[in-house]
Amino acid sequence: MSLIVQKYGGSSVADAESIKRVAKRIVETKKAGNEVVVAVSAMGDTTDDLLDLAREVAPLPDPRELDMLLTTGERISMALLAMAIKSMGFDARSYTGSQAGMITDSRHGSARIVDVTPGRVREALDEGAVAIVAGFQGFNRDSRDITTLGRGGSDTTAVALAAALGAEVCEILTDVDGVFTADPRVVPRAHKLDRVTSEEMLELAAAGSKVLHIRAVEYARRHDVALHVRSSFNNTEGTWVVSRSENMEEPIITGVAGDLGEAKITVVGVPDVPGKAADIFTIVAKTGANIDMIVQNVSAAATGLTDISFTLPKPDAEKVLAALRVEQTEVGFASLQYDDQIGKLSVVGGGMRTSAGVSAQLFTALSEAGINIEMISTSEIRISVVTRADSLNEAMRVVHTAFGLDGEAEAVVYAGTGR
Ligand code: ADP
Ligand code: ASP
Ligand code: MG
């Protein structure tokens, strides 16, 4: 008998009908002779709605209480799913993250898994039941508090359970047929990839493709979990996330990703002398913010002053601006500029390592479409550029076409608001 872990995302369990449909699919998997463990997300946009509610009562909600609140979303879906399965005559038991042994560190809102002790899940399987585990949540042993793994974290719950239980496969069931060459909501001609290397998937996830939680990809790679992203709305084969060692020629460009979640801060009028960048980024580092791109302009000869710009996740911007303001006189810069109307476009492909001219092709495509590039950064298998936020979607479509990625038919998105 093989053990399968299935993760159902919020759009797949958005209402009672969907929960019954998912219950049926779980029962079919069970009837096919498998042991089934399910990680489930909150219904539809529940997590976003709860976040909105929290912000209505407190501008900066207390992190411990926010985790308490947000984890209720998954409690609802797990219990409903277990009920639905039971009413079909099959045994099922739901477990919170802490009951299922998802032990994390204490960082509320972005906790990391430190141990997985799924004793109760194993017992339920041994007794012939389907185990349903609330995604996205864990428990910290020291504080004895409930934690969450960060937005999109149910994917990571599923992979961690698959690793701990030695599952044959971890299926991520969602509202599209798999991993596409771009977000099909933005690029209708995107096509499904049969496979993607974990290395490329990590870059795509980091660049904003939210189809998989980046930590789920990392975890799967580290623990050798077979990861299959597919639709919960049909039975077609989806996308397998594979290791790079396989004997395949990698395409130059595998996919295009867009990210509207970052903002740009420019430190204006920095004295162009050694140590200033160190000063600025030490201040930034102390806030715990994650910096992405950095650009330093050539200093104006007349003034000996330069500007340093960097991008970071929007939610981190306020604390970074505040920290820099406090040290303004000490560091000696003139002013700060904040711009939250940027978009980041990335092209990713393992074959980039061995081909020349990818940047030229990317920049040409953007310039022909009249889209201005404000910042550039690269890794071995990725090139990212910053554009105006309102031209990002068009930029993605143009670049997708320029690299010959357009499929023959329009991609199908089965559900969800994409929120
Ligand atoms: P779930 O609720 O199942 O967790 P998510 O909304 O987190 O689903 O992720 C699925 C969505 O990811 C798709 O509906 C799609 O809009 C988006 N997406 C972004 N980039 C990609 C991509 N490269 N391939 C497929 N989907 C993508
Ligand atoms: N419900 C959580 C979220 O919306 C976790 C998840 O869906 O993966 O982020
Ligand atoms: Mg998701």
Task: Say yes or no to pLDDT of 21 above 90.
Answer: yes
Ligand 2 centre to CA of 65 (Å) is 17
The CB of 11 under 6 Å from ligand 1? The reply is: yes
The CB of 10 under 6 Å from ligand 2? The reply is: yes
Ligand 3 centre to CA of 414 (Å) is 14
Spatial separation of the C-alpha atoms in residues 152 and 165, rounded to whole Å: 22
Mean pLDDT calculated for residue range 124-146: 98
Is there a contact between 324 and 336 (Cβ–Cβ < 8 Å)?
yes
Q: Sheet of 113-116: strands edge to edge?
A: 113-116, 102-104, 137-140, 145-148
Task: Say yes or no to pLDDT of 302 above 80.
Answer: no
What does the pLDDT read at residue 398? 98
The CB of 151 under 6 Å from ligand 2? The reply is: yes
Mean pLDDT calculated for residue range 157-176: 98
CA 280 centroid distance within chain: 28
Q: Is CATH 3.40.630.30 correct for 247-419?
A: no
Residue 96's pLDDT band (cuts 50, 70, 90)? very high
Substitution site in 45, 170, 176, 241 for ligand 1 pocket (most atoms within 8 Å of beta carbon): 176
Ligand 1 centre to CA of 179 (Å) is 8
Task: Say yes or no to pLDDT of 189 above 70.
Answer: yes
Spatial separation of the C-alpha atoms in residues 90 and 30, rounded to whole Å: 9
CA-closest residue to ligand 2 atom 9:
151
What pLDDT digit, counting tens, does each position of 339-359 carry?
Answer: 999 999 999 999 998 888 999
Task: Say yes or no to pLDDT of 419 above 80.
Answer: no
Ligand 2 centre to CA of 277 (Å) is 37
Is there a contact between 307 and 266 (Cβ–Cβ < 8 Å)?
yes
Give percent of the chain with pLDDT exceeding 70: 98
DSSP E strand boundaries for 130-244: 130-134, 137-140, 145-148, 169-174, 195-197, 227-231, 239-242
Q: What is the CATH number of domain 3-174?
A: 3.40.1160.10
Q: Which ligand is nearest to the CA of 152?
A: 2
CA-closest residue to ligand 1 atom 4:
9
Task: Say yes or no to pLDDT of 246 above 70.
Answer: no
Which residue has tokens 């910042």? 375
Mean pLDDT calculated for residue range 132-139: 98
What does the pLDDT read at residue 232? 95
Spatial separation of the C-alpha atoms in residues 280 and 100, rounded to whole Å: 43
What does the pLDDT read at residue 244? 76
Mean pLDDT calculated for residue range 378-395: 96
Residue 247's pLDDT band (cuts 50, 70, 90)? low
Task: Say yes or no to pLDDT of 235 above 90.
Answer: yes
Eight-class DSSP state of 189: T
Spatial separation of the C-alpha atoms in residues 49 and 290, rounded to whole Å: 26
What pLDDT digit, counting tens, does each position of 171-183 carry?
Answer: 999 999 999 999 9
What does the pLDDT read at residue 193? 96
Spatial separation of the C-alpha atoms in residues 95 and 79, rounded to whole Å: 8
What does the pLDDT read at residue 418? 60
CA-closest residue to ligand 1 atom 9:
211
First vs last C-alpha separation in the chain: 38
Count of residues for the chain?
419
Q: Residue ranges of the domains in the chain? A: 3-174, 247-419
Least confident of 32-46, 94-108, 244-258: 244-258
Task: Say yes or no to pLDDT of 298 above 90.
Answer: no
Ligand 2 centre to CA of 74 (Å) is 8
Mean pLDDT calculated for residue range 328-339: 95
Q: Tell me the C-alpha to C-alpha distance, in Å, between residue 299 and each of 74, 176, 302, 307, 310.
A: 52, 48, 9, 7, 16
The CB of 219 under 6 Å from ligand 2? The reply is: no
CA-closest residue to ligand 2 atom 8:
152
CA-closest residue to ligand 2 atom 5:
152
Residue 417's pLDDT band (cuts 50, 70, 90)? low
Mean pLDDT of the chain: 95
The CB of 259 under 6 Å from ligand 1? The reply is: no
